[in-house]
Amino acid sequence: MVYGQVLHRPDGCFINVNVGGFKQRMDHTVLKRFPQTRLGRLLCCSSKEAILELCDDFSPSEMEYYFDRSPSFFCYVLNFYLTGKLHLVDGLCVVSFFQEIEYWGIKERHLDSCCSGTFLERLELTEDEYWDRMCEDLQLHSAGSSVEELSTSEDETDLFEGSWCANVRQSIWIRLENPGFSTSAKVMAVASLSVVIASIVAMCVHSMPDFHQVDADEKEIENPVLTFFENLCVLFFSAEFILRLTVAPSARKFLCSPLNIIDLLSIMPFFVTIACDIMNEDENSDLENVGKVAQILRLMRVFRILKLARHSVGLRSLGATLQHSSREMGLLVLFLSVGISMFSAMIYFVEQESEESQLHTIPIAWWWATISMTTVGYGDILPVTLGGKLIGTLCIICGLLIVALPITNIFNKFSQFYQKQQCLELKKKKNNLSLMHRYSSVSKRTQCERM
CATH code of residue 63: 3.30.710.10
Residues 165 and 304 in one domain: yes
Least confident of 105-109, 117-121, 295-299, 382-386: 295-299
Q: Are 186 and 180 in contact (CB under 8 A)?
A: yes
Residue 300 and residue 189 in one domain: yes
Do 164 and 280 have their domain in common?
yes
Give the separation between CA 27 and CA 126, rounded to whole angstroms: 37
Residues 340 and 305 placed together within one structural domain of the fold: no
Q: Which of 68, 101, 127 is the last residue of a domain?
A: 68
Res. 436: pLDDT tops 60? no
* In a domain? residue 449: no
Mean pLDDT, range 6-12, rounded to an integer: 44
Same-domain check for residues 293 and 396? no
pLDDT for 321-379, tens place per residue? Answer: 777 777 888 888 888 889 998 999 999 989 888 888 888 888 889 999 999 988 887 88
Same domain, 330 and 435: yes
Q: How far is CA 245 from CA 76, 158, 251, in A?
A: 69, 17, 6
Whether 388 is covered by a domain: the verdict is yes
In three-state secondary structure terms, 11 is coil
Domain count, the chain: 4
**Is 80 a domain residue?**
no
Cα dihedral angle (232, 237, 239, 243), rounded to 10 degrees? 160
Is 335 found in the same domain as 307?
no
- Write the CATH number for 432: 1.10.287.70
Q: What is the pTM of this model?
A: 0.46
Same domain, 290 and 219: yes
Indicate if 145 and 163 belong to the same structural domain: no
Residue 181 sits in the same domain as residue 280: yes
Task: Say yes or no to pLDDT of 446 above 60.
Answer: no
Q: At what angle do helices 313-323 and 113-150 cross, to 10 degrees?
A: 120
Specify the higher pLDDT residue, 286 or 358. Answer: 358
**Do 145 and 168 fall into the same domain?**
no
Tell me which residue range forms the domain holding 127: 88-150
- 214 and 341 housed in the same domain: no
Residue 167 placed within a domain: yes
Residue 217, domain CATH:
1.20.120.350
